[in-house]
Amino acid sequence: MPYSSNPYRALLRPLSVLYGWGVALRHFCFDRGILPQVSYPIPVICVGNIIAGGTGKTPHVEYLIRLLGERRRVALISRGYKRKSRGMIIASSSSSVADIGDEPKQILTKYPNIRLVVDGNRRRAMAYFMSLPEDERPEVVIMDDGYQHRYVRPSFSILLIDAARHPKDDHLLPEGLLREPLEQIHRADCVIISKCPANMSSIERRIIDRGLRLYPHQQLFFSRMQPKALCPVLSLGTETAQGRGSAPMLGDRVMALAGIAQGEAFVRQLSQSYSVVQSYCFADHHNYRGEDLARLEQAFAELSAEQADKPLWCICTEKDAVRLYEHRSLLSSALLEHLYYQPIEVKLLQRQEVFDRLILSKARPLR
């Protein structure tokens, strides 16, 4: 819930004060060396945020994997948010969403050649990587959602800020959505303003730049989310989409399905290309239950019958697709054949070559 729309924010303010004291004490201990940070002989690139939820960390991590994967042995550490397992999990193609979480599963499905470890204890995950034989040891580690996990000292930190949610307009948890005070922005080596409109003007970018008051050494970039061609959910596995004579066309009727932090934005984006006749927005990382799938099946059957001469499709996010794929045995063939997901990729608004060179330089072997 955005800060401005939270009717209980005044009641939560004392808790935010206490939370702020705890965060400040923790950072003081790290800054003074009371709590130890561990450095490693291989590059560790951290991707994180200071506002809870929905800044686009996963697409940015995927961007880094694509950029580095052809040049380096890449590994990823994720805490596996909302997974059902405990401890350290060395992910494999057989790992389920329950084992490693939906975002790691999405990444591993797309990039099966990376090493992926799920563990809230980042030092333990790094210790595992460093224990591997030298010819198998990763040459660069990406630490997803690691900005608050200071026990591992990254060699380079990327901080994401949603263009529509400037941190100066927010408050600390639980009154607002800030995970850390604003001054912690200055720990980042690079700041990316994410989810920008494609037509963001230079004046708008300058206003954001001045508002952040970054240090001279901090690089600032702006990115947007680029939707790609729709894909059948069945294409995530060994099943093929062959035999299907059609795919969603512009203007077709669709049901929209989103279990992400800002599901309404996904529905609005689909509405620009399709006729959205029904939408379902769940909480981020929603775990689909039998009743959810039954409701989806019923709605699909009823809406299909209303206009039998016009195709009906169900389009979900990529994160929802990996969950729904694992429940495919509970879905009818009629729905599965019309179930697609919308992949997205990160695009830099400007200076993409500068950003790529910066990341490649930070992924070089440390001396």
- Residue 216 and residue 251 in one domain: no
**Within a domain: 330:** yes
Structure tokens at 325: 């794929």
Burial class of residue 30 in the structure, from the number of CB atoms within 10 Å of its CB (0-12 exposed, 13-18 middle, 19+ buried): middle
pLDDT value of position 7: 66
pTM of the full predicted structure?
0.94
Structure tokens at 287: 């775990």
- Residue 212 and residue 93 in one domain: yes
**Within a domain: 194:** yes
- Residue 273 and residue 211 in one domain: no
Q: What is the CB neighbour count within 10 angstroms for residue 136?
A: 9
- Residue 169 and residue 235 in one domain: no
Domain span including residue 121? 3-227+347-362
d(CA 109, CA 290) in angstroms, rounded, equals 24
Which CATH number fits the domain that encloses residue 197? Answer: 3.40.50.300
**Within a domain: 80:** yes
pLDDT value of position 246: 77
Bridge partners, residue 158, by sequence: 47, 190
- Answer whether 167's CB lies under 8 Å from 50's CB: yes
Tens digit of pLDDT at every position of the chain (367 positions): 444 456 677 889 999 999 999 999 999 999 999 999 999 999 999 999 999 878 999 999 999 999 999 999 999 999 999 999 999 999 999 999 999 999 999 999 999 999 999 999 999 999 999 999 999 999 999 999 999 999 999 999 999 999 998 888 899 999 999 999 999 999 999 999 999 999 999 999 999 999 999 999 999 999 999 999 999 999 997 655 444 557 899 999 999 999 998 899 999 999 999 999 999 999 999 999 999 999 999 999 999 999 999 999 999 999 999 999 999 999 999 999 999 999 999 999 999 999 999 999 999 998 7
**Within a domain: 367:** no
Number of domains the chain is built from: 2
3-state secondary structure of 191: strand
**Within a domain: 71:** yes
Listed in sequence order, the DSSP H helices in 223-289 are 263-271
- Residue 173 and residue 260 in one domain: no
- Residue 25 and residue 99 in one domain: yes
Q: What is the CB neighbour count within 10 angstroms for residue 133?
A: 6
Question: What's CA 167's distance to the chain center, in Å?
Answer: 18
**Within a domain: 173:** yes
- Residue 19 and residue 112 in one domain: yes
- Residue 236 and residue 266 in one domain: yes
**Within a domain: 42:** yes
- Residue 357 and residue 337 in one domain: no
pLDDT value of position 4: 47
Which CATH number fits the domain that encloses residue 296? Answer: 3.40.50
